[in-house]
Chain A
Amino acid sequence: MKKYVSALPFFFVACIIAGCASKPIPEWRYESFGQLENYKINYLKSKDQVAEFHYRKTLEEVKRSGDLKLIAKVYLTKYALKAAVLEDVADSDYLDMDVIEPDKENRNFFVFLQGNLSIVDAKLLPAQYGPFLKAALGGKEREVNDAVSKIDDSLSCLIAIGITVKKNLYNEETLQTAVNTASANGWQKPLLAHLGKLEQYYEATNEKAKASKIRQKIKAIKN
């Protein structure tokens, strides 16, 4: 036993050396990952010009590798963000990639984003959406709200809510969850989108006072 304990420091040193000697990450991977993260954050913060710049750079870097599946993933990320801010998804870019090199996982996510939940394969979907998919297929708003609020990742939560809105499975609570999530993260774009949706909801349910309050809130945020 003592022998092993005395060998421990050597083991640590060996580990550190192994860590240092590990192969450096290829620049395009490092760059593309960073640029995509910047794109997401800036897009959600309504800094459209900056976001567009980072998106362009991401594509530039990923295209260096020639990995079509990865390029498709970048396109899908863009669509997912659009879904999170309740905007329509333009799909031509992704479909071009899918024709050349189809990928089950990407295709599955694309179908999920479009809201065709009945043909989505839960196994191929990113794990965090599993319970949500189940609830959404059940079609009960309360369960959907429950599943959505349990998604840890804020962006994934907003994406799920976006799909809920598209499928008309939402109620006041769903939109409130989205507003709170966007607000907590300081993401102005989804915040305004969901506030707008909430206002429409109150108008439809004839709750004029609440609708007016939301309108004022939107005005205050925009100014």
Chain B
Amino acid sequence: MLNKNAFKVGLFVVITTFLVVMTIGFMVYKKGVFEKVYTYTLSSKSGENLTLGMPVVFSGFTIGKVDVLELNEEGVVLITIKVPKRHIKWIRSNSVFSLDKPLIGAPKITVITENLNSPPLSPEAIVEIGTANDINEIIKRVNPILEMVNRIAANIETISVNLANPRGDVNKILRNAEKLTSNLSGKPSLLDMAVDDRESINALYSAMKSTKVITSQIEDTLKKVDAMAVKTDEKVYGREGSLSLVNNILKDLIIKLQNLDATLANVNTISKDAADSTKDFKLLREEIDGTIYSIKELVKKVDDLVPFKKEPDIKLP
């Protein structure tokens, strides 16, 4: 009984071991460990992007890998690649080797063979490797576009910020437009629209009316002056005469009036600025309040961390 069981166990162990060894052997065989490997030597001016174990690719299939990288006496990088026997048919004397750096993925050495009928590459030959630098080429081309995109994005951001900001230009324009249209619809005249104060308008109207009266009076006076002028001598309207003096005074008056106008415009601007500053003050005040509150909170938290602290108690002084 015991012998029978021992035999079964022995058989099981032997079969399992055999199967394991067979499987490993098969895998190793399939991996091409027993296959003869050919060695070729390539050269490159730079070892940049070259790594050990880098794949050698033909038509998208890996046919070998980089085995040794070394620098010779002339400063040229020598790349030794290993190709199994079953793949050497792809490597011919007119094959072109290039270092391919794709945009995505690891760099690889690509083999291009135009004529598969040409003689096989001699293992002693040293073939120079070319470089196909995808990334840099693409970056060079893409860079200006990226800059352009950046600029556009910045512009869009400015516009959107402006749109979102209630104090932004766009909103200001909109508000002004709204105010203007409401003014337009609400005011009986252009003057009402420009000046928002009824009293000033009335004053202006009455001033204009009195101007009419004054003009007519002046006209009368001028007629009289005309009449007089015929009779008056050089003294009146000569270079030193009273009329020219009056003229000068009038000119002076005009200049002064113009100055007054500018001053009024300034006063307008100043009052507007003052209104804006008040808004800023409010904002500043709020910000200061907020900051002080945060600091206070922080101080309190720090204070809470102090152990054995005496509890504050209001006592009579």
Q: Which residue of B lies closest to A110 (CB)?
A: B316
Contact of A33 among B300, B308, B313 (CB under 8 A): B313
Whether the Cβ atoms of B314 and A30 lie closer than 8 Å is no
Contact of B311 among A25, A27, A62, A155 (CB under 8 A): A25
**Partner-contacting stretch, out of A3-11, A71-79, A202-210:** A71-79
CA distance A105 to B314 in the complex (A): 13
Q: Quick one: closest A residue to B317, CB to CB?
A: A80
Q: Which residue of A lies closest to B301 (CB)?
A: A24
A interface, size bucket: 20 to 34
**Nearest chain A residue, comparing its CB with the CB of B308:** A19
Contact A77-B307, Cβ < 8 Å, known A27-B300, A30-B300: no
Q: Report whether B316 and A22 are in contact in the complex, using a CB–CB cutoff of 8 Å.
A: no
With known contacts A16-B307, A20-B305, A62–B314 Cβ distance under 8 A: yes
Chain A residues whose C-beta falls within 8 Å of the C-beta of B73 in the assembled complex: none
Q: Are A29 and B308 in contact (CB under 8 A)?
A: no
**Binary per-residue interface labels of chain A (129-166) against chain B in the complex, 1 for a CB within 8 Å, 0 otherwise:** 00000000000000000000000010110010000000
Q: Is A170 in the interface zone, CB < 8 Å from B?
A: no
Could you tell me the distance between the alpha carbons of A25 and B311 in the complex, rounded to whole angstroms?
7
Number of cross-chain contacts by CB at 8 Å = 48
Given A16-B307, A20-B305: A36 and B314 within 8 A (CB)?
yes
Candidates B308, B309, B311, B317; contact of A77 at CB < 8 Å = B317
The CA of A14 and the CA of B109, in the complex, are separated in Å by 68
* A22: B residues at CB distance < 8 A: 307
Contact (Cβ within 8 A) A77 B312: no
Interface assignment of B276: CB less than 8 Å from any CB of chain A: no
Chain A residues contacting B309 (CB-CB under 8 Å) are: 25
* B317 & A40 in contact (Cβ 8 Å cutoff): yes
Within 8 A of A (CB), among B290-314: 300, 303-305, 307-309, 311-314
Cβ-neighbour of A126 out of B304, B305, B314, B315 (below 8 A): B315
Q: Chain A residues near B314 (CB, 8 Å)?
A: 32-33, 36, 62, 70, 73-74, 77
Check B316–A30 contact: CB distance below 8 A: no
A/B interface sample: 10 pairs, CB < 8 A = A19-B308, A20-B305, A25-B311, A29-B311, A30-B312, A33-B312, A36-B314, A73-B315, A74-B314, A80-B316
5 A-B pairs besides A77-B314, A153-B317 with CB distance below 8 A are A25-B304, A25-B312, A27-B300, A81-B317, A126-B315
